[in-house]
Structure 1
């Protein structure tokens, strides 16, 4: 008989490098899926890791493997501390995304560090991880992977948008789930605000004081990626080669860069979700706290913008990676052909035993 109730830990590290998100959640299946987040926490990276992780694309494969080994040990320690802190006794599996080192699906290449088999032995728990690789092998983008969770856990919303390092969207279209990366957001905003000595632009206050540079805005909006059809996804490499050099060429004040880029992101999102007061849009990720950005989005779209509880805003991706692991344990589809462009729906991920 297929198990219908799970207690699992979900682990997520995103491109914004603000830390490792962990959730301990229950999932129950009774005609449809229900979930409850019991504990959720973001663990900030220790001092050395952000500088290592932001430059992963610069390392050769042997260097990446050495980093992977060290990161796997570090990640296991973070997870063990989370388990001990919350005195968690029952764990069916730890379901981990790891951290993306390389993502070039057109070259059939994707590599997430922290997914080595050793992690199961280090934790002494079953681990489900490395969810992207199989999809890329099947001809898919390997991303985004969250839409299956949007479909099965958040079906009351017309659009699910996550504002992390990148803005991505998921929605139903002609009875299929469609999802893709819309554009970069925090990965760019945080890069420039660091020049002022801040990790992020709190509530968008700095951006709100800037002025839009229309020439830069037009060039950003004209980037070829935005004309491509889904499935499509973005990575750090694309930002470094297409976005940062374009912005830097204008030599603008940081506040004007932030203001212009906020407008760019708002325009790209509004192009996708349209303007229909009957449509409900779920906004999650760190960008949900950027009040100025949300105000601009509401001005560009009449859709009902919904910002949920703090736990969902901050931990939805970790929650859904926990859910991806649950589906993998049940040998059920957790990766959708309509989303990634793979040659079939499939149950992705690797299961490692302690």
Structure 2
């Protein structure tokens, strides 16, 4: 196949906020058209179930096992994604036969690449049957089985976007979800990626526990607090932050880092600063210091975080993906649409510089079909 396909991408990240939906048209190399995007939030009961699933998954050794509430959570994830697609098609007046492929990430409940284990719950076969559309799912597993980190997966999409920019010098695209990750791009030949550390996960958990709110909206709480810089310095002593690239994390990797005893504002400020500091700490590990930092994901909506990041990466510029005409909110969903097309065309999803896998490789499992 060489023609561009109309693809829907679905992403439910480690922040457990909901399902992002986006449509693009792509040949797997370039994006020929951007379509609409949408969002289906998780209800509080669904979010509580998923948090329990994260806990129940900790001891897993078999990626096909479904201990505790995982089987129930898997059904909830599939239903939520199906509802998200059905609402998206209806709201945008898109006929199902206008869609060629769906890229379905699922919900990560465990990511332990050192044990060659990554688990994303969500029934891809069931989703394809319910939607009546071909679905590509389980896109991390092949890389992890081959010894790669299995994350991040979006760098090849970031490169496709960056190709359209008139920029000189290296830039990094930072996705700040539950975990933060970066893509380092310097022309077409250099593509490096890794997780950098906590994104919103520690902050969201702290804010929920201390205020009952699911996240620090607009960074308002953190803006009122004082950052504990000695605490930040101590946290950065974790060996992960100086480990060579590529590297990746489970959402709960830094769960032991605690700001217990601090006021809600000071705790939020300190955890927000930790996210900024861990992103900045990646610069010495890169071939060149980046001249620009482009921020996507939920963190792009947090002006307090962006301000802290600017202070720590100066003189590099910091801007939201939206400022470039990209979509900070829909980028990961778009990426999984892009990856689904690459998967069916047997193009690489991961590379030695992005996941540490021995050679560029494709991935994903195909359900339903045939392609229209």
TM-score normalized by structure 1? 0.90
Q: Which residue is 1:353 aligned to? A: 368
Residues 330-350 of structure 1: per-residue CA shift (max 9 Å, x gap):
111112122111222111101
Structure 1 position 252 matched with structure 2 position 262: yes
| 1:159 and 2:172 are equivalent in the alignment | yes
Q: Which runs of 4+ in 1 moved over 6 A?
A: none
Cα deviation per residue 1:211-263 (whole Å; 9 max; x = unaligned)?
A: 122332222111121121122111123132x32xx333xx1111111112222
Count of aligned positions: 346
Q: For residue 34 of structure 2, what is the aligned residue in structure 1?
A: 37
Separation in structure 2 between the aligned mates of residue 97 and residue 238 of structure 1, nearest angstrom:
21
Query: Which is further off, 280-289 or 168-177?
Result: 168-177
| 1:303 CA drift (Å) | 1.0
Q: 1:272 aligns with which of 270, 282, 294?
A: 282
Deviations for 1:293-312, whole angstroms, at most 9, x for unmatched residues? Answer: 21222222111222132861
1:176 aligns with 2:174: no
Structure 2, unmatched stretches of 5+, are 58-65
Q: Residues 27 and 35 of structure 1 are in contact (CA less than 8 Å); yes or no, is this contact kept in structure 2?
A: yes
The match for 1:19 is 18
Greater shift after overlay, 332-341 or 127-136? 332-341
Q: Distance in 2 between matches of 1:70 and 1:188?
A: 24
Offset at residue 40 of structure 1 (A) = 0.5
In 1, the alpha carbon distance for the partners of 2:229 and 2:266 equals 11
Q: Which residue of 1 aligns with 2:319?
A: 306
Q: Secondary structure at the match of 1:237?
A: coil
Would you say 1:85 and 2:97 are equivalent positions?
A: no
**Alignment partners' CA distance in 2, 1:302 and 1:35:** 33
2:104 to 96, 99, 107: 96
1:10 aligns with 9
Secondary structure of 2:348 counterpart: coil
Shift in alpha-carbon separation, 1:169–1:99, aligned structure 2, 3 A: same
Measured on the aligned residues, the alpha-carbon RMSD in Å equals 2.3
What does 1:199-210 align with in structure 2 at a 5 Å threshold? Answer: 199-210=214-225
Flag the 1:269–1:302 CA change in 2: closer, same or farther, 3 A: same
| SS across alignment from 1:100 | strand
- Write the distance in 1 (CA, Å) between the matches of 2:316 and 2:186: 17
